[in-house]
Amino acid sequence: MAFGLSPRHALELPLEEFTPEAFLVMATEAAEMLGWNIGPQSPSGFVAYTRFSFSSYSEEVKVEIQGNRVLLKSTCTGNQLTDWGKNKRNLNDLISTFGSLKNSYSEEDIERKYRVLQESFPSDEAAHLPASPLTTKDKLTDFLSIFRPVEGYFVTPIIIILNLAVFVGMVSTGVHFMIPESEDLVKWGANFRPVTMEGEWWRLLTCCFLHIGVLHLLMNLYALLHIGLLVEPYLGKTRFLAAYLLSGITASLTSLYWHEFTVSAGASGAIFGMYGVFLAMLTTNLIEKAARKTMLTSISIFVGYNLLNGLKGGIDNAAHIGGLISGLVIGYAFFPSLIKPKALNLKYATVGMLMVLVTCTSFVVFSRIPRDMGQYTEKMNKFQSLESMALEVYQLPEGTPKEELLSELKNRGIYYWNENLKVLAEIDSLDLPSELTLRNAKLKTYCQLRIKSYALLCKAVEEDTQAYESQIGAYDEQIEDLIADLSGKERE
């Protein structure tokens, strides 16, 4: 059983009595007998892909002749962490089938079949096997190589490092590493409609580098590492970075439009965007046909599973869908410049066009999002300010003169509680989520109880009596229950 990023199993065998031509012919025949799809071929070997089934994840099997030895390697094409022995079984099946063919062909048969194979070789008769979509993963030789920028894998490790750095910064300032508070996420730049819509547009981007706990971070970085290794070699630095940032912003816009009162954070929207880019590429001829068919199946299953999983609570599926769709658009937009790699003007023009498109889309989305949440936040700030002034009566020192105490209770306490009822009446006119409407009704009850309590306190002071203590205590009990309910905590 193999573990790791795209689990694999490799074997090295001697050519023994076989010529390279004979081994290549029989190995190809064996792969076809196993029902595998033959991909890139050359005089030095070939790449094949197993069929997707309950017993296979559509693994990539590479056969490469190196001098007098043959390297066999089977690699998972999906995101799984373990192969449950499938890669080892693939190589054993290939060797077993090859063995059954040892005495099946004459030298004339070998020569004839090799001439047929030559028709599939690159025109320049390249000595080395053509690269496959999984080739870049060979650059990850150890754990530290994940963070080391190299050719074909340059932007991805930088993004990984940035996400890790932001998380370390959050935790070092006291943010919980498993379940951070919403207030902490907003403070660090999460996407939250009430504040994003009030001019803090930068949150559409910063939220893509925040994560809601270490598990959220690790899952996203694993998915980013996988798709980065697949896509960045094709896109290059500029296109990859542009696609990641633009799909991330679009994902944040979708979340902002869909969710009224949700704190959104995470790189998953941008990562879904990169999967969308790759899906678009897999429907074109940019990638070799056999690899394209296999990768399209494994990537589609991964995306579909995660979208279905996102239907359960606590997952921002709106951002996932927004990122995926934007990634598809970006992937198709990049196609003309990808088939003309030397046309730099076309590449940069495409990136500029996409930036303009995302900017214009942002303006349209912002114009259609109700701004009632922003008004709600402003009015709640006013409510809290008035509440603080109304509660100042409890800070009066013992022995405060009767006239001053009555003035504080009537002219400040009761007055400000009534002012807060007016604020809550204004909030009632806003288009708000049902949970905020219910909260507003509870706040009205809270203010009314405060007014009743203050009125009895005034009577107690005026009459210099303790006759109302039980009634005041009953009001205070109800007030404490409401405060606990509003804060989501049980009374101690």
Contact 89, 50 (CB under 8 A): no
Out of 337, 368, 399, a domain closes at 368
- The reported pLDDT for the residue numbered 128 is 64
- pLDDT tens-digit readout, 334-359: 999 999 988 999 999 999 999 999 99
Answer yes or no: do 388 and 406 share one domain: yes
Answer yes or no: do 361 and 381 share one domain: no
For residue 465, the enclosing domain spans 372-487
Rounded mean pLDDT of 370-385? 84
- CATH number where 309 lies: 1.20.1540.10
Contact 427, 440 (CB under 8 A): yes
Out of 368, 397, 416, a domain closes at 368
Count of domains observed in the chain: 3
Paired with 11 in beta bridges are: 72
**pTM of the predicted model as reported, rounded to 2 decimal places:** 0.77
- pLDDT tens-digit readout, 249-302: 999 999 998 887 789 999 999 999 999 999 999 999 988 888 888 888 888 888
Catalytic residue among 44, 74, 268, 453: 268
How many alpha carbons lie under 13 Å from residue 425 in its C-beta half-sphere?
A: 7
Out of 66, 95, 130, a domain closes at 130
Asked, for residue 2, whether it belongs to a domain, the answer is no
- pLDDT tens-digit readout, 193-241: 888 888 889 999 999 999 999 999 999 999 999 999 999 999 999 999 9
Rounded mean pLDDT of 21-42? 92
Asked, for residue 439, whether it belongs to a domain, the answer is yes
pLDDT of residue 418 exceeding 80, the answer is yes
Answer yes or no: do 363 and 401 share one domain: no
Answer yes or no: do 260 and 301 share one domain: yes
What's the token pair of residue 119? 């028709």
Asked, for residue 25, whether it belongs to a domain, the answer is yes
Per-residue pLDDT band for 492 (boundaries 50, 70, 90) equals very low
Confirm whether 211 is a catalytic residue: no
Per-residue pLDDT band for 26 (boundaries 50, 70, 90) equals very high
Amino acid identity, residue 472?
Answer: I
How many alpha carbons lie under 13 Å from residue 160 in its C-beta half-sphere?
A: 23
Answer yes or no: do 307 and 162 share one domain: yes
Residue 259's closest CA among 434, 437, 436, 433?
Answer: 433
Answer yes or no: do 186 and 330 share one domain: yes
Answer yes or no: do 101 and 157 share one domain: no
- pLDDT tens-digit readout, 106-155: 889 899 999 998 888 876 644 566 667 777 777 777 889 899 999 999 99
Catalytic residue among 9, 44, 320, 453: 320
